[in-house]
Chains A and B, each alone.
Chain A
C-alpha cells in the first residue's frame, strides 16, 4: 500500500469513527419489546470498530442485508437506498441512517466493506457498512425478515429487503420489491418517520 492510500484510508477511518460515535446517542429508556434491538448481536463497522446491534438505537434507520461480491442485485440495493436518500429533504437527510449488513462475513472483510463505501461515495455520516459476527448472522437476518442460503460457489440465494426502523428499532415499513411499485410507498414511510421525530 502506498503512503497516499494509507493516509486516505486513515482519514476515512477517523472520519467514520467520529461519525459512528455521533450516530450513537445515549438512550436510557428500556427498549420496547417489539424492537429488533432486543436481539443481542455483535458487529464491526467499516472502520473496524466493534459495535453492539443495540448501539444503532437513537435515529430512524433503513437497514438491509447484502454482500460485496454480489454482482446482480446487491448494487441495486445500494442504488435503491441512494434513491431514498435523494428523495429526502436536506433536513430529513441529516436525521436518517442507512445500514448495510453483510451476509457474507467470511469474505466481506472490513477492508472490502470500506472499499464499497468509498467507491460509491456514500456519506459516512449516515451510511454504515457492517460485518456481523458469523454466529449472529442468521439471527440478524431473522429479526429483519431476510431469508438466505449460501451456495456452493460462494454466491448467496437471498431475499432482498429494506427495513425502516424507528429510533427505538420498531419496524415501521418494509420494501421487499425494490425497483418496483413498493419504492414510492417506502419513501413515503421514511419521510413520515423522519417528520414524526
Chain B
C-alpha cells in the first residue's frame, strides 16, 4: 500500500495504457438525446430525427484493446478469421496474429478492421456499433457547442485533416480536445465503422437508369443533402457507402456505443 502511494497520481492514470489495456468502465460517456438534422436529408426524415440518449466510447478502439479481444476470441485472429467476414488484409499491419508489433503501437487506433470484426468486438463489450445518426450527432459537437456545424472556422479545421498525407503514421488516440460530451477523435484521426453502413445507399447505383436498374433499389426515398458546405461529412458518407462489410482499410477504425439503461 505504501509503495503504491509513492507513485505520483499521474503515473497511475497512465498505467492502464501500458501493456494490454482492456476497456475500463469509464471508457464511455453518456450523450443526451435530442432532435437532430442530419447533413443527409432523406425524403422521409426532412424534419429531423429524434436521437435517443446513448453512450459512446470516448476514443476509438486501440490496438491494445483489440489485442485483448483477439486473444480471448481466437476465431477473430487474422489466421482464423473467415474470409467472408474479414478480407485478407484484415489486421495485415500487425506483425503476427497475436502481436501488433512496432507498426501498430498499443495506443494507436486499430485499423484494417472489417465491419463484422468491429461488430463482434463491440458485442464482446456488451456494446454495439453506433448508428450513422449517433455518430454524426456526436461529431457535430466541438469542445463548447453541441452543434458547431454552422461555424466555418470549425469546418475548416476538420477539412485540414483530410489534406494531411495518408502515409504518415497514425497519431495515438485521445490527443485531441474532447468535445462537449467528452468524446475525442471523431474527426482528425481515422474513419470509423458504423452499424448501419449498409443503409447509406449512396452509390452510383442510385443514379443509373433503366428498368432493370430501378429494380436494384426498392423504395423511393432518395438520399440528398442540402448541406453542401459540409464536405467532411459527405466524404465520410461516400467512403462508408463504398466499402463492403468484410473490407478493411488502413484508415478505417471504429468505436462502440451502448444503449442507456
A interface vs B, CB < 8 Å? Answer: 31, 33-36, 38-39, 70, 72-74, 76, 138-139, 141-143, 145-153, 155-160, 176-182
Question: Interface with A: B12-20, B168-176, B193-201, which one?
Answer: B193-201
B interface vs A, CB < 8 Å? Answer: 42, 44-45, 82-85, 115-116, 119, 195-196, 198-201, 205, 210-213, 215-221, 244-246
Q: Across the two chains, which residue of chain B brings its CB closest to A80?
A: B215
Asked if A180 contacts B211 (CB within 8 A), the reply is yes
Answer whether A180 and B82 are a contact pair too, CB < 8 Å, given A73-B218, A138-B195, A151-B221. no
Interchain nearest-CB distance for B11 vs A (Å):
41
- B196 surroundings in chain A (CB, below 8 A): 138, 149
Q: Which of B44, B85, B205 contacts A38 (CB 8 A)?
A: B85
- A70 surroundings in chain B (CB, below 8 A): 218
- B210 surroundings in chain A (CB, below 8 A): 180
By secondary structure, the B interface counts as: loop
A149 to B213, CA, bound (A): 18
A72 to B215, CA, bound (A): 9
List 15 interface pairs A-B (beta carbons < 8 Å), by A numbering: A34-B82, A38-B82, A39-B85, A138-B196, A142-B116, A142-B198, A151-B42, A155-B221, A157-B217, A157-B218, A158-B219, A159-B205, A179-B212, A180-B210, A182-B212
A153 to B212, CA, bound (A): 25
Asked if A178 contacts B82 (CB within 8 A), the reply is no
- A153 surroundings in chain B (CB, below 8 A): 44
- Extra contacts, 18 of them, besides A158-B218, A159-B216 (Cβ < 8 A), are A38-B85, A72-B218, A143-B84, A147-B199, A149-B42, A149-B221, A151-B42, A151-B44, A151-B219, A152-B44, A157-B219, A159-B201, A159-B205, A177-B213, A179-B212, A180-B210, A180-B212, A182-B212
- A150 surroundings in chain B (CB, below 8 A): 199
A36 to B116, CA, bound (A): 12
- A36 surroundings in chain B (CB, below 8 A): 84
- B216 surroundings in chain A (CB, below 8 A): 159-160, 176-177
